[in-house]
Structure 1
Amino acid sequence: MHNNDTVVIAGCGDLGTEAGLRFARRGHHVIGLRRRAELVPAPITGRSADLRHEVPEIPADTSVVVVAFAAGSRDVDEYRATYVDGLRNVLDGIDASDADPRLLVVSSTAVYDVDDGSEVTEDTPVHGATPTAEVLVEAEALLRVRAPDAVLVRLSGVYGPGRERLIDQVRSGSARLAPGASPHTNRIHRDDAAAALVHLATVEDPAPTYLGTDDEPSRLDDVLRFLADELGVPEPVTGDGGARQSGGDKRLSNALLRSTGWAPQYPTFREGYRAVLAGEGVRHP
């Protein structure tokens, strides 16, 4: 990959934009595809495309394609149109071009149906526990058939500027501690997720799949108590009600990703949420 090569971000939303800006700082020409191109910030070149229904044009000098979709809702049909149809259209665009890019596709650790608190690695079998997770498994299967050399990046819960659901729950008092032991949760700061994508674009002979997550699987109640302390609000009360996080109970390992030389800027939720609360990482027009 050379500095003046083109990088295409298919799904240039929050995560895709952060990755695109990092590629641009490395000297690449970055094209960001999303439904509303005017939302793509410079120096990324925004192009309007509804990838659920359109096959994008991939320039011949494209060395990297990052697929970072985000469905607009939890509706299963919307999920399938976004993750399966959208991926198929991107693959069709690559096949129709003269480019031979490294393809990086963002998926989710929701494909692991694990709820006993055990460790999960890239070798753990996938099985969608929910209808939307089943769609992600379907998209991953399509990728393996159509692009066996692609790199799949399964991200845990992405948080960061604008992704402040837990903060809002604690601040509003709607968060609840578990009556017993709370499940383990796993997360990664948006900036670390974007840095992982840029890093994996240059790794020689990458593995087919990586887990993108920080260094510390944490019990959800520990995260809630920490946020309450940082915000200076009362600790959440114990109860069955209130908004709680789904996703089973699993401890994700980032050992394989770390073995490539990537290291998170925010190794645990503490550093990451402190940065969010301090207003770091917010993009201003």
Structure 2
Amino acid sequence: MAERILLAGCGDLGLRVAARLLAQGHETWALRRTPPPQGGPGLRWLGADLAQPHTLGGLPAGITRVVYLPAPDARDKAAYRALFVDGLRHLLEALDGRALRQVLLVSSSAVYGEHDGDWVDEDTPPAPAGFNGALLLEAEQWLAAQAVPSTVLRLAGLYGPGRLQLVERLRGGALRVPREVPHWANRIHVDDAAAAVAHLLRLPVPGPLYLGVDDTPLPLDELYDFLAQLVDAPPPPEGPAPAGVGSKRLSNARLRASGWMPQWPDARDGYAALLDT
């Protein structure tokens, strides 16, 4: 059955989700502060600011599912609160709740803290190390307390077309990496993330929480050395672990058990394909 789906904060990931939803025959709306002059075929654009509730008065009636996946303009506490905590509340207050059947919040593995390389799954208690994870967790908890059925997808680090800043920093010699004690990295290709969102919207009874990540956590030095070799850059020298990003191995077992499978189960293969084009 065709749904009326709203993608709130529709950037690169949202557009990839939208392409899948439109292919499935759903009526798909995309909300952004400044919609593009020419959107994709079939995608219905809305101009509104999630942080400004007075701009949300013209939302379409009868929306059955919402995907909340905005990206803040600035990496600071005020921007995150305005968008993820206040913006989510503003949007749900503006929508007709009688038709709404599901809200899917795209969150982040930043809600987890330091785990010294141990495995982490949906049952691991969150302990965010930074304000971004803390505010995303606050948004998750607020949404879970609402009457509308909700699902949270906590994504690992995204990579894919247009997301190769890591490679450019390696080429420029701007990276350091811990080598004596492994620091575990977790990744998911942006197309696999989009497929996970579309998949969770199709499930008859989705669970409340999933981790979106590929099959292969990697020691950061192993990933960086592999990428450096791909682009003929020198391996990065010894240095501290990334600030505010705990070492952990994320499990996708629950998402896989629900029927999702990544096209790129190992980020090394995903990066190699990107850099070969």
**TM superposition score category, shorter chain reference:** over 0.9
Q: Does 1:69 align with 2:70?
A: yes
Tell whether the 8 Å contact from 2:101 to 2:148 is kept in structure 1 after alignment.
no
2-structure distance, mates of 1:185, 1:200: 24
2-structure distance, mates of 1:238, 1:35: 42
1:169 to 1:182, Cα distance in 2 relative to 1, 3 A: farther
Aligned to 2:238: 238
Aligned to 2:165: 165
1:38 to 1:130, Cα distance in 2 relative to 1, 3 A: same
2-structure distance, mates of 1:236, 1:147: 49
Q: Deviations over 1:84-119 (max 9, x none)?
A: 01110121123x354223211101111111331111
2-structure distance, mates of 1:238, 1:130: 24
1:182 is displaced (CA, Å) by: 3.1
Matches within 5 A, 1:1-285: 2-3=1-2, 5-38=3-36, 41-43=39-41, 44-54=43-53, 55=56, 57-94=58-95, 96-147=96-147, 149-240=149-240, 244=242, 246-279=244-277
Tell whether the 8 Å contact from 2:115 to 2:248 is kept in structure 1 after alignment.
yes
2-structure distance, mates of 1:262, 1:90: 28
State the superposition RMSD in angstroms: 1.8
What letter is aligned with 1:82? Answer: L
1-structure distance, mates of 2:104, 2:135: 18
1:144 to 1:119, Cα distance in 2 relative to 1, 3 A: same
Give 3-state SS (helix, strand or coil) of 2:202's partner.
Answer: coil
What letter is aligned with 2:52? Answer: H
2-structure distance, mates of 1:236, 1:137: 33
Aligned to 1:283: none
1:258 to 1:118, Cα distance in 2 relative to 1, 3 A: same
2-structure distance, mates of 1:39, 1:184: 41
2-structure distance, mates of 1:85, 1:139: 8
Give 3-state SS (helix, strand or coil) of 1:201's partner.
Answer: helix
1:40 is displaced (CA, Å) by: 6.9
Tell whether the 8 Å contact from 2:215 to 2:265 is kept in structure 1 after alignment.
yes
Tell whether the 8 Å contact from 2:184 to 2:220 is kept in structure 1 after alignment.
yes
Tell whether the 8 Å contact from 1:60 to 1:97 is kept in structure 2 after alignment.
no
1:148 to 1:8, Cα distance in 2 relative to 1, 3 A: closer
1:140 is displaced (CA, Å) by: 1.0
1-structure distance, mates of 2:68, 2:157: 17
What letter is aligned with 1:219? Answer: P
2-structure distance, mates of 1:74, 1:230: 30
Tell whether the 8 Å contact from 2:84 to 2:139 is kept in structure 1 after alignment.
yes
Calculate the TM-score normalised by the size of structure 2. Answer: 0.93
Q: Deviations over 1:109-165 (max 9, x none)?
A: 111113311111101111221122211111111111124620010111111112112
Q: Which moved more, 1:266-275 or 1:149-158?
A: 266-275
1:261 is displaced (CA, Å) by: 0.7
Q: Which runs of 5+ in 2 are unaligned?
A: none
1:72 is displaced (CA, Å) by: 1.4
2-structure distance, mates of 1:146, 1:36: 29
2-structure distance, mates of 1:109, 1:138: 14
Calculate the TM-score normalised by the size of structure 1. Answer: 0.90
1:238 is displaced (CA, Å) by: 2.4
1:207 to 1:97, Cα distance in 2 relative to 1, 3 A: closer
1:201 to 1:40, Cα distance in 2 relative to 1, 3 A: farther
1:239 is displaced (CA, Å) by: 3.5
Q: Deviations over 1:227-251 (max 9, x none)?
A: 01111222222234xx946411011
1:119 to 1:63, Cα distance in 2 relative to 1, 3 A: same
What letter is aligned with 1:33? Answer: L
Extract structure 1 runs of 4+ deviating beyond 3 A. 55-61, 243-246
Tell whether the 8 Å contact from 2:170 to 2:228 is kept in structure 1 after alignment.
yes
1:259 to 1:180, Cα distance in 2 relative to 1, 3 A: same
1:177 is displaced (CA, Å) by: 2.9
